[in-house]
Amino acid sequence: MPDPRALGAAQLWIGTSWKMNKGLAESRRYARGLADYVEANPMTGVQPFIIPSFTALATTRHELGDESPVLVGVQNAHWEDHGAWTGEVSVAQAKDAGAQLVEIGHSERREHFGETVETTRLKVAAALEHGLVPLLCIGESAETKRAGESSRFILDQAAGALDGLTDEQLGRVLIAYEPIWAIGENGRPATVEELRQPFADLGREYGGRTLGLLYGGSVNPDNAEDLLGIEHVTGLFIGRAAWQLPGYLRILEMAAAHPKASAVTG
Ligand code: PGA
């Protein structure tokens, strides 16, 4: 499996979190189908990643195979390596079970599980220390957007988690901008117009300095191409539309054919 530390920025990151879905059999089927697909369709210029539940992590990794170009991640991890933290899984444990990437600060975790800017900072640091790619999720609420505060809010979330990192460390971080109003069943896809300013802001601060700047929130095969065309967007983070393998493969295929797949420099 590829060493995340050796990954370059010159690719489009196309990934999915399965959230709290899929048991072992379904995870295995998905991973096998994906393994077959990437074997038949070498992923030049595209870096696929999938983020199953903890319970399916090792199975998914195993089914993809050790040499797979597909990275596997976890949806959360604790910053301490071990200890009296009942119910938590550490970055070290996730790595041991095959994770190469750690999703951090998804809005569902911030809203329902008390994730704070400070805990995202600790988790980013732990992921980097163990050589895993932190995928930091940021995004504002509909209310913050209405108040015209989106840019300040997302830049504060990013800075709170990333300030103090060296250039080398920042170069191993992915950022996903996922406006809360665009995510999930009650979300509506952000328009290309709405995304220009946030990505201009993120691009100014982090473009070319990180592994990539992803967009997430109601991504689907119909809007993926336009979203990838936005300046500074170098990847997509997908929920529902990629929970079934054919949906994910359609977006991977589209990304591989996208001009940015060969031209991205971060
Ligand atoms: P969605 O989820 O694609 O189903 O809107 C995105 C996310 O939560 O990352």
178 is catalytic: yes
Q: Counting atoms of ligand 1 from 1, which one is nearest the CA of 176?
A: 9
Q: Is the CB of 15 within 6 Å of ligand 1?
A: no
Asked whether residue 264 is assigned to any structural domain, the reply reads: no
Task: Convert the pLDDT of each residue in 118-167 to its tens digit.
Answer: 999 999 999 999 999 999 999 999 999 999 999 999 999 999 999 999 99
What sign does the dihedral 237-239-243-246 (CA atoms) show? negative
Q: Considering the domain boundaries, does residue 7 fall inside one?
A: no
CA distance 255 to 238: 13
Residue 265 lies in a domain: no
What pLDDT sits at residue 266? 43
The pLDDT score that the predictor gives to residue 43 is 85
Q: Is residue 2 one of the residues assigned to a domain?
A: no
Whether 5 shows a pLDDT value over 60: the answer reads no
Query: At which residue do the structure tokens 């071990």 appear?
Result: 82
- pLDDT at residue number 49: 98
Bridge-based pairing of strands 12-17 and 212-216 is: unpaired
As beta bridge partners, residue 51 has 17
At 89, list the tokens.
């899984």
Q: What global pTM score does this model have? A: 0.95
Exposed, middle or buried by CB within 10 Å (0-12, 13-18, 19+), for 243?
middle
What is the CA(83)–ligand 1 centre distance, in A? Answer: 32
Domain assignment of residue 245, given as a range: 12-258
Phi and psi based region of residue 77 (left: phi greater than 0; alpha: psi -120 to 50; beta: remaining): beta
Give yes or no for a contact between 226 and 255, defined as CB atoms under 8 angstroms apart: no
Residue 265 has pLDDT above 50, yes or no: no
Give how many domains the chain has, as a whole number: 1
Average pLDDT of the chain is: 95
For residues 79 and 115, give the distance between their C-alpha atoms in angstroms, rounded to a whole number: 12
From CA 17, how far away is CA 28, in angstroms rounded? 15
Q: Would 5 be classed as within a structural domain?
A: no
Q: How far is the CA of 23 from the centre of ligand 1 (A)?
A: 19
The average pLDDT across 13-24 equals: 98
Query: Which token pair is 67?
Result: 């040499």
Assess if residue 150 is contained within a domain: yes
Q: What percent of the chain has pLDDT over 90?
A: 91
Residue nearest to atom 7 of ligand 1 (CA): 239
Residue nearest to atom 3 of ligand 1 (CA): 239
Helix (H, G, I), strand (E, B) or coil at 202: helix
Q: Tell me the three state secondary structure of residue 256.
A: helix
d(CA 107, CA 183): 9
Instruction: Tell me, yes or no, if 106 is annotated catalytic.
Output: yes
Q: Is 176 in the pocket of ligand 1 (CB under 6 A)?
A: no
3-state secondary structure at position 98: coil
Give the DSSP H or E segment for 242: none
The conformation of residue 14, written as its DSSP 8-state character, comes to E
- From ligand 1's centre to the CA of 63, what distance in Å? 24
Ligand 1 proximity of 189 Cβ (cutoff 6 Å): no
pLDDT, residue 44, reads 87
Specify the CATH number for the domain of residue 230.
3.20.20.70
100 within ligand 1 shell (Cβ under 6 A): no
Q: Tell me which of 75, 183, 185, 186 to substitute to probe ligand 1's pocket, judged by most ligand atoms within 8 Å of the beta carbon.
A: 183
State the catalytic residue, choosing from 106, 108, 140, 258: 106
Any ligand 1 atom below 6 A from CB of 238: yes
Distance CA 167, CA 127 (A): 16
Q: What is the mean pLDDT of residues 12-32?
A: 98
Is 215 a domain residue? yes
Q: Which of 102, 118, 47, 83 is nearest to 264 (CA)?
A: 47
Any residues with CB less than 8 A from the CB of 234 and at least 6 apart, and which? Answer: 9, 11, 12, 13, 212, 213, 214, 260, 264, 266
Asked whether residue 183 carries a pLDDT value surpassing 60, the answer given is: yes
